[in-house]
Amino acid sequence: MADNLITIENLSKGFNGKMILNNLNMSVFRGENLVVFGKSGSGKSVLLKCIIGLMKPDSGKIYVGDRELQKMNSDELNTFRKRTGFLFQGAALYDSMSVRENLAFPLIRNTEMNKQERDKKIINTLDLVSLGEAIDKMPSELSGGMRKRIGLARAIITDPEIMFYDEPTTGLDPITSKEISELIIALQHRLHMTSIVVTHDLICAKIISDRSIFLKDGDIIYNGILADLAGSDDPFLKNFFSDEPIKSGD
Amino acid sequence: MNIPKLIYGSRLNFKESVHNFFATIAGLSIISLEFFRQVFLPPYEIAEIRKHMNELGIKTFPIVSITGLIIGLVLAMQSQPVFVRFGASDFLPGTVALSVVRELGPVITALIFAGRVSSGIGAELGSMRVTEQIDAMEVSAVNPFRYLIVTRVIATTMILPVLTIYVIFLAVFGGYIAVIITENMSFAYYKNAVISSIQYGDLIPGIAKTFIFGFIVGIVGSYKGFTAEGGTEGVGKASTTSVVIASLLILLVDVVLVKLTLLVWPTT
Ligand SMILES: Nc1ncnc2c1ncn2[C@@H]1O[C@H](COP(=O)(O)OP(=O)(O)OP(=O)(O)O)[C@@H](O)[C@H]1O
Ligand SMILES: [Mg+2]
Mutate to test the interface with B, among A15, A76, A84, A109 (most CBs of B within 10 A): A109
Provide the whole-model pTM. 0.91
Print the domain residue range for A231: 31-55+74-240
Is B140 in the A-facing interface, judged by CB distances under 8 Å?
A: yes
Q: Provide the pLDDT for residue B43.
A: 85
- Residue type for A117, please? E
**Residue from B251, B227, B250, B252 nearest B237 by CA:** B227
Q: Write out chain B residues lying below 8 Å of A90, CB-based.
A: 131-132
Confidence at residue A247, expressed as pLDDT on a 0 to 100 scale: 61
Task: Read off the pLDDT of residues B129-139 as tens digits, 9 standing for 90 and up.
Answer: 999 999 999 99
Within-domain flag for A21: no
Answer yes or no: is the C-beta of A45 below 6 A from any ligand 1 atom: yes
Please state the domain count of chain A: 1
How confident is residue B264, by pLDDT bands cut at 50, 70 and 90? confident
Contact A86 B128 (CB under 8 A): no
Ligand 1 centre and the CA of A104: distance in Å?
30
What would the mean pLDDT of B18-24 be, rounded to a whole number?
A: 93
Could you say which of A52, A82, A92 has the minimum Cβ distance to residue B133?
A: A92
Three-state SS sequence of chain A: CCCEEEEEEEEEEEECCEEEEEEEEEEEECCCEEEEEECCCCCHHHHHHHHCCCCCCCEEEEEECCEEHHHCCHHHHHHHHHCEEEECCCCCCCCCCCHHHHHHHHHHHHCCCCHHHHHHHHHHHHHHCCCHHHCCCCHHHCCHHHHHHHHHHHHHCCCCCEEEEECCCCCCCHHHHHHHHHHHHHHHHHHCCEEEEECCCHHHHHHHCCEEEEEECCEEEEEECHHHHHCCCCHHHHHHHCCCCCCCCC
Cβ A199 under 6 angstroms from ligand 1:
no
B133 with A54: Cβ contact below 8 A: no
The minimum CA-CA distance between B127 and chain A, rounded to whole Å, is 9
Every domain of chain B and the residues it spans: 42-264
Kindly report, residue by residue over B228-246, the tens digit of the pLDDT. 998 999 999 999 999 999 9
User: What does the pLDDT look like over A40-71, one tens digit per residue?
Assistant: 999 999 999 999 999 999 999 999 998 999 99
In terms of DSSP H, where are the helices of B1-104?
14-38, 46-85, 92-99
Nearest to A81 among B124, B127, B141 (CB): B141
Please give the average pLDDT of every successive group of 10 residues along chain A, which has 250 residues. Answer: 86 94 95 95 96 95 93 93 96 96 95 95 95 96 94 96 95 91 92 94 93 94 89 86 69
What residues in A contact B2, CB-CB < 8 Å? none
- CA A41 / ligand 2 centre spacing (Å): 7
Q: Is A139 within a domain?
A: yes
Whether A246 is in a domain gets the answer: no
CB contact under 8 A, B142 and A54: no
**A75 interfacial to chain B (CB closer than 8 Å):** no
Cβ–ligand 1 contact at A114 (below 6 Å): no
Mutate to test the pocket of ligand 1, among A46, A86, A169, A220 (most ligand atoms within 8 A of CB): A46
In a domain? residue A18? no
Does the beta carbon of A15 lie inside 6 Å of ligand 1?
Answer: yes
Q: How far is CA A156 from the centre of its chain?
A: 11
In a domain, A248, yes or no: no
Coil, helix or strand at residue B161: helix
Does the beta-carbon distance from A52 to B141 stay under 8 Å? Answer: no
Q: Which positions in chain B touch A148 (Cβ < 8 Å)?
A: none
Q: Any idea what the CATH number is for the domain that residue A112 is in?
A: 3.40.50.300
Q: Return contacts of B57-64, CB within 8 angstroms, 24+ apart.
A: B57/B159, B57/B162, B57/B163, B59/B116, B59/B117, B59/B120, B60/B112, B60/B113, B60/B116, B60/B117, B60/B159, B60/B163, B61/B163, B63/B112, B63/B116, B64/B109, B64/B112, B64/B113, B64/B163, B64/B166, B64/B167
Tell me the average pLDDT across B241-265: 93
Asked whether residue A104 is assigned to any structural domain, the reply reads yes
A68 belongs to a structural domain:
no
What residues contact B101, with CB distance under 8 A and at least 6 apart? Answer: B168, B198, B202, B203, B206
User: What pLDDT, on the 0 to 100 scale, is given for residue A248?
Assistant: 58
Give phi and psi for B243, each to the nearest 5. Answer: -65, -45
Tens-digit pLDDT profile for residues B74-115: 999 999 888 888 888 888 899 999 999 999 999 999 999 999
Residue B229 class from Cβ within 10 Å (0-12 exposed, 13-18 middle, 19+ buried)?
A: middle
Using one digit for the tens of pLDDT, what is the confidence trace for B36-81? 999 998 888 999 999 999 999 999 999 999 999 999 999 999 998 8
Distance A39 CA to ligand 2 centre (A): 9
pLDDT for A117 equals: 96
At B160-210, the pLDDT tens digits run: 999 999 999 999 999 999 999 988 889 999 999 999 999 888 899 999 999
Judge whether A110 lies within some domain.
Answer: yes
The answer to whether B26 faces chain A, any CB pair under 8 Å, is no
Among candidates B128, B131, B139 on the partner chain, residue whose Cβ is nearest the Cβ of A52: B139
